[in-house]
Structure 1
Amino acid sequence: MSSTPGDRAAAEVSRPAGDLARSVPRVVRGPRPRGPRAWPWWVQTLVVYGLARAVSAAILVAVSRAQAENPWTGAAPPYLVYVARMWDASWYEQVWAHGYPADLPVGADGQVQQNAWAFFPLFPFLVRALHLATGAGWDVLAPTVALVCGAGAVLLVHRLVATAGRAAVVRRPGLPLATVLVVSVFPSSPVLQVAYTESLALLLVAASLLLLSRCRYGWTAVTVLLLGLARAVALPMAAVVVWHAFVRWRRGELSPRDGVRLGGLFVVALVAGLVWPWVCTLVTGTDQAYLRTQEAWRSGAAVVPFLPWLDVSRWLLGGAGAWLLVLLLLAVAGLVLNPVAARLGPEMQAWAGAYLGYLVATIQPGTSLVRFLLLAFPLGAVGVGWTRSRAWLAVVVLVGVAGQVWWVWELWRLVPPSGWPP
């Protein structure tokens, strides 16, 4: 006997739940990604960083074969010695072993001489603590600490771009990993595995920006204070805090309580930027001891804001130097203020502008500028964020690796009796 439509409807209702589930058509999904694309983000990040550091290690080993005997190493030193003792690494080793002098050393001409007070304490003291726990020594621990800090830094850079820079990631989904790649192959990126403080500073800068973007102001204060003991780069964070507060206020998101907390964080950033010069003066009893020490690296010339850039541009290019310097500063301003930088979020955009402005105000431009620019990592995101072209990214990587060869050969390698510092 044939059934009516009503009978069929009743039968459907009375069918067991399992039968109903089996009657629903399956949603056809695409194939799951295989290979590296299926790895968790942190694995991809560490693989990129590890491969880049392996390339840098190969370059350092190759160049070390041509290293002549110098004040820090013998000829053709082993890898660990080469990355643990050259250039400023020897100053950090001195702090690690002996601490800081109670008095500033003064030459026969009455000028303060180069001394350990120019180098911040967090990195060598961290290595000292690990040495007391393990007995492994400076040559092993210092490059290892730098390498591990660099790994932590690129993980935080990835998270920072992926979260604070969501608007940019929507337009270029691979931007977080691409930024990690650009940072990892930057011409001065070998410094991330030598006994310098760049990797620790990069870790603390990225942590501060990430915490600030998530409105974790108490933890941001902690990382900013640590940054003030790692490198002389904490003061720009005060400008970042101000811009973060302004953006939240303009969006109507700033409560009175958060306004007070951000005011306190602004004060913390100022203190972090000034605490080490204050400690230098307090311990040595010499007024402006940190500035007097910095002048020793400028052959006694006074530390004057901005002027060294104009002097160097005129020295290099004569009368046209000042105009070309203006064009360079305008180009940098264009990078910081363009829409791609804005989509990275107010924290990264403000850091890029404040940090570069701070460099112009405080340093004497020279070969070390290539190393200092590593901390301006948001510009790396800007450089790869305006296009999805893999060919462009490949060009950036090739240029970065070639730049590493130049940086290690021309700057890290010393041809006695003198050379340009890295």
Structure 2
Amino acid sequence: MRHTPVRERSVDRAPARYPWSLVVALFVVVTAGLTSVVAAVDAVRPSAGGTGQTWIDGWFQFDSGWYAGIAQFGYSYTPGQQSAIAFFPVYPLLVRAVAAVVGDVQLAGQLVALLSGLAAVVLVGSWAWRRLPRRSALLTIAVALTYPYTLFLHGTMYADGLYLLLAVGAFVLVDRRWYLAAGVVGALAAASRPFGIAVAVGLVVRILELLAQETGRTGWRDLVASVRRVRFRHAGVLVSFAGLLAWMAYLGAEFGNPLAFVETESSPGWNQGVGPRTWFKVAYLGLVHHGRWSLVANLTLQALACLVVVLLVRRITRLFGWGYAAYTVVVIAIPILGTKDFMGAGRYALAAFPALAAGGDWLAERPRWVAVVTLTAMTAAMVVLTWYFANGVEVS
């Protein structure tokens, strides 16, 4: 299979000037809208947040407590029980540093998450702006702003925004041939989320693809053949594997088990063990069998998000190349295979940023009403999910 490098596409290309101020303004509008929903719910049903401000505390739910605890007290691990080591370290360490300045861990965590989410959306839009026709790029920005699970970029004390920013940043750097810088940023991404290793894999494949492009041939066999063209400077991207290795080294030294983060996922309450019951979604099928339809609807929406990403892989390969496709495959395979019932998969799919752009490009090829209906439906879903989230219902 071959694909035409995106830089050779010339039809309706986006203008050189990227409207970053418009993206920022739209992000602020979405944040304000979702925060008003959260504040209204928290005024009636107070959350566990401790600032006393409904528009801040309503975002403090579920994993937020784990991250706040890590930022304050560090990591702990009790075999067979839910433990803090399930949450990777870059985000809580950054929160701890910011908390030393602002004086409050929760405020610091939500500030880091919000600013990271804003920067991530701006960077995703910029990345697409340089690779896609104008209509496709604009719809990419729209998809990034309305994808239902982007609610986690607008104020929750979660690591998703920071990871997305680091992942996109690593690929932007490698495309500019800043190999070591890409490796360092990739290492931070790999130490941010359990599926962060996808960045390291994607960067390696991207290097081989860039080398193959120099010969004018970009089939997968050409990628394999380009291994002989690798030089020492290209090895900088291998630093990206150091993020996961450093985390495992810490767990081994501190708790005697470098894979403790995998084992704790199997603990009671999480029950995300590795094996056929998880792979074949026995828990999900059990919910269907017992007719728990509200939860089934929640989980099915997340499963559909994963399915859409999988269906877009071929388009991602054609538009952006093998490196971005490899990243997307790894980043979406981990939640598909690693969750017992798809819970969390909708949020994890957000990390597959090339799929956001491929989705925007797909919409650009359809009649305008398809884009309007799709974006409206996603916006409505995001508002509904935000309302449920603020009410203490786990939505992803």
| TM-score (normalised: structure 2) | 0.79
Preserved CA contact (<8 Å) 1:306 1:361: no
Preserved CA contact (<8 Å) 1:308 1:365: no
The residue that corresponds to 2:295 in the other structure is none
Q: What is the rounded CA distance, in whole Å, between the counterparts of 1:370 and 1:391 in structure 2?
A: 25
The residue that corresponds to 2:199 in the other structure is 237
* Residues 293-352 of structure 1, C-alpha deviations (whole Å, 9 max, x = no match): 22125556632389434434543567xxxxxxx9998875432113x6521344433322
Gaps in structure 2 of 5+ consecutive residues:
1-14, 216-225, 290-302
Q: What is the rounded CA distance, in whole Å, between the counterparts of 1:329 and 1:201 in structure 2?
A: 18
1:116 equivalenced with 2:87 (yes/no):
no
The residue that corresponds to 1:182 in the other structure is 143
| Equivalent residue letter for 1:276 | W
Q: Counterpart of 1:113 in 2: which secondary structure?
A: coil
The residue that corresponds to 2:376 in the other structure is 398
1:138 equivalenced with 2:105 (yes/no):
yes
Preserved CA contact (<8 Å) 2:99 2:107: no
The residue that corresponds to 1:207 in the other structure is 169
Deviates more, 1:287-296 or 1:48-57: 287-296
Q: What is the rounded CA distance, in whole Å, between the counterparts of 1:379 and 1:278 in structure 2?
A: 33
Deviation at 1:260, TM superposition (A): 3.7
Q: What is the rounded CA distance, in whole Å, between the counterparts of 1:129 and 1:55 in structure 2?
A: 29
Gaps in structure 1 of 5+ consecutive residues:
1-36, 106-110, 319-325
Q: What is the rounded CA distance, in whole Å, between the counterparts of 1:306 and 1:361 in structure 2?
A: 10
Q: What is the rounded CA distance, in whole Å, between the counterparts of 1:327 and 1:398 in structure 2?
A: 17
The residue that corresponds to 2:223 in the other structure is none
* Residues 15-44 of structure 1, C-alpha deviations (whole Å, 9 max, x = no match): xxxxxxxxxxxxxxxxxxxxxx99852112
Deviation at 1:228, TM superposition (A): 2.2
Q: What is the rounded CA distance, in whole Å, between the counterparts of 2:166 and 2:277 in structure 1?
A: 26
Judged with a 3 Å threshold, the aligned counterparts in structure 2 of structure 1 residues 299 and 244 are, in CA distance, closer, same or farther, namely closer
* Residues 196-223 of structure 1, C-alpha deviations (whole Å, 9 max, x = no match): 0011001001101111222211110111
The residue that corresponds to 1:58 in the other structure is 36
Q: Counterpart of 1:215 in 2: which secondary structure?
A: coil
1:96 equivalenced with 2:62 (yes/no):
no
The residue that corresponds to 1:272 in the other structure is 243
The residue that corresponds to 1:191 in the other structure is 152
| Equivalent residue letter for 1:177 | L
Preserved CA contact (<8 Å) 2:385 2:395: no
Match of 2:62 among 57, 73, 87: 87
The residue that corresponds to 2:320 in the other structure is 344
Deviation at 1:95, TM superposition (A): 0.9
Preserved CA contact (<8 Å) 1:241 1:262: no
Preserved CA contact (<8 Å) 1:49 1:184: yes
Q: Counterpart of 2:350 in 1: which secondary structure?
A: helix
Match of 2:263 among 292, 313, 316: 292
The residue that corresponds to 1:148 in the other structure is 115
Deviation at 1:412, TM superposition (A): 4.4
Preserved CA contact (<8 Å) 1:213 1:347: no
1:335 equivalenced with 2:312 (yes/no):
yes
* Residues 111-160 of structure 1, C-alpha deviations (whole Å, 9 max, x = no match): 5211211112222221221222232x123222111111111112211221
Q: Counterpart of 1:364 in 2: which secondary structure?
A: coil
1:227 equivalenced with 2:189 (yes/no):
yes
| Equivalent residue letter for 1:237 | V
Deviation at 1:227, TM superposition (A): 1.0
Judged with a 3 Å threshold, the aligned counterparts in structure 2 of structure 1 residues 350 and 48 are, in CA distance, closer, same or farther, namely farther
Q: Counterpart of 1:175 in 2: which secondary structure?
A: helix
Preserved CA contact (<8 Å) 1:305 1:361: no
Judged with a 3 Å threshold, the aligned counterparts in structure 2 of structure 1 residues 281 and 370 are, in CA distance, closer, same or farther, namely same
Q: What root-mean-square deviation, in Å, do the aligned CA atoms of Structure 1 and Structure 2 show?
A: 3.3
Deviation at 1:387, TM superposition (A): 4.3
Q: What is the rounded CA distance, in whole Å, between the counterparts of 1:401 and 1:351 in structure 2?
A: 27
Judged with a 3 Å threshold, the aligned counterparts in structure 2 of structure 1 residues 245 and 365 are, in CA distance, closer, same or farther, namely farther
Deviation at 1:410, TM superposition (A): 3.1
Preserved CA contact (<8 Å) 1:182 1:396: no
Deviation at 1:234, TM superposition (A): 2.1
Deviation at 1:180, TM superposition (A): 2.1
The residue that corresponds to 2:297 in the other structure is none
Q: Counterpart of 2:134 in 1: which secondary structure?
A: coil
Q: What is the rounded CA distance, in whole Å, between the counterparts of 2:81 and 2:29 in structure 1?
A: 41
Q: What is the rounded CA distance, in whole Å, between the counterparts of 2:150 and 2:307 in structure 1?
A: 26
Deviation at 1:173, TM superposition (A): 1.1
Deviation at 1:224, TM superposition (A): 0.8
| Equivalent residue letter for 1:203 | L
1:410 equivalenced with 2:388 (yes/no):
yes
Judged with a 3 Å threshold, the aligned counterparts in structure 2 of structure 1 residues 140 and 314 are, in CA distance, closer, same or farther, namely closer
| Equivalent residue letter for 1:369 | A
Length, aligned pairs only: 357
1:374 equivalenced with 2:350 (yes/no):
yes
Q: What is the rounded CA distance, in whole Å, between the counterparts of 1:295 and 1:54 in structure 2?
A: 37
| TM-score (normalised: structure 1) | 0.74
Q: Counterpart of 1:221 in 2: which secondary structure?
A: helix
Judged with a 3 Å threshold, the aligned counterparts in structure 2 of structure 1 residues 303 and 90 are, in CA distance, closer, same or farther, namely same
Q: What is the rounded CA distance, in whole Å, between the counterparts of 1:361 and 1:212 in structure 2?
A: 28
